[in-house]
């Protein structure tokens, strides 16, 4: 997550928009081509965009809301990129807040990676979009397209520093392991919901 995500979190914690009632988080792109051996394209191995992209959305929404997820419902569609490569999930939290998560690998490569976020509270809202999450793209007349990626500048240095500082100090980690596990469980439940058409009760459901 970039500094924009952190700024929104800080504004929420400062009470600037009241109590969070709804988070919308959208990440859409072409199929990722950078995984070793193309393993991301194997839905059975990677879980598709719900695990590649959606897990970060679930994690961020949980962080903003400050309350555990209790229910998730998801619908997904196949595309030429593979099975369940466009997905919409709705999550309800213990506090009563909702999150709406959109993730996709079904878009053309020339469109780039796009992100949109809206946070609605009882006293205001915050929204922002990253229309092209890249430094640029070179379309050669003959040959491969070259992307100039700026993801490395989006707070990853700060994240790595916080982690290494925690390791050197003997803890605690900047993000508790149970929060990461909870976000992964929500993403896996979304996959199960998309597969079965059922709403998943996260207070009782466990992945197989």
Average pLDDT, the chain: 88
Q: ∠ at Cα 23 (21, 24), nearest 5°? A: 145
What span, in angstroms and rounded, lies between the C-alpha atoms of 185 and 71?
11
- Tell whether domain 3-201 is in CATH 3.40.140.10: no
Q: Which secondary structure element, helix H or strand E, spans residue 97, and what is its range?
A: none
Q: What is the pTM of this model?
A: 0.85
Higher-scoring residue by pLDDT: 176, 52: 52
What span, in angstroms and rounded, lies between the C-alpha atoms of 69 and 186?
7
Instruction: Give how far Cα 180 sits from Cα of 34, 38, 57, 187, Å.
Output: 24, 25, 12, 11
37 dihedral zone (left: phi>0; alpha: psi -120 to 50; beta): left
pLDDT at 12 over 80: yes
- In this predicted structure, what is the pLDDT of residue 201? 98
Residue 8: other Cβ atoms inside 10 A: 22
Residue 4: other Cβ atoms inside 10 A: 16
């Amino acid at each position: 997550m970039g500094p924009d995500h952190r700024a929104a979190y800080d504004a929420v914690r400062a009470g600037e928009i009241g109590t969070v009632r709804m988070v919308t988080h959208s990440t859409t792109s072409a199929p990722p081509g950078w995984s070793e051996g193309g393993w991301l394209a194997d839905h059975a191995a990677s879980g598709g965009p719900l695990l590649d992209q959606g897990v970060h959305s679930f994690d961020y929404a949980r962080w903003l809301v400050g309350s555990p997820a209790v229910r998730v419902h998801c619908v997904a569609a196949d595309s030429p990129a593979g099975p369940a490569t466009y997905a919409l999930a709705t999550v309800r939290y213990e506090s009563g807040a909702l999150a709406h998560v959109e993730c996709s690998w079904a878009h053309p490569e020339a469109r780039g990676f796009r992100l949109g976020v809206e946070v609605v509270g009882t006293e205001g809202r915050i929204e922002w979009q990253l229309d092209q999450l890249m430094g640029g793209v070179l379309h050669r007349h003959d040959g491969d397209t070259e992307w100039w990626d700026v993801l490395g500048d989006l707070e990853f240095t700060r994240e790595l520093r916080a982690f290494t500082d925690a390791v050197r100090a003997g803890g605690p980690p900047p993000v508790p392991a149970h929060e990461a596990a909870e976000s992964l469980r929500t993403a896996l439940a979304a996959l199960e919901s998309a597969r079965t058409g059922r709403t998943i009760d996260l207070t009782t459901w466990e992945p197989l």
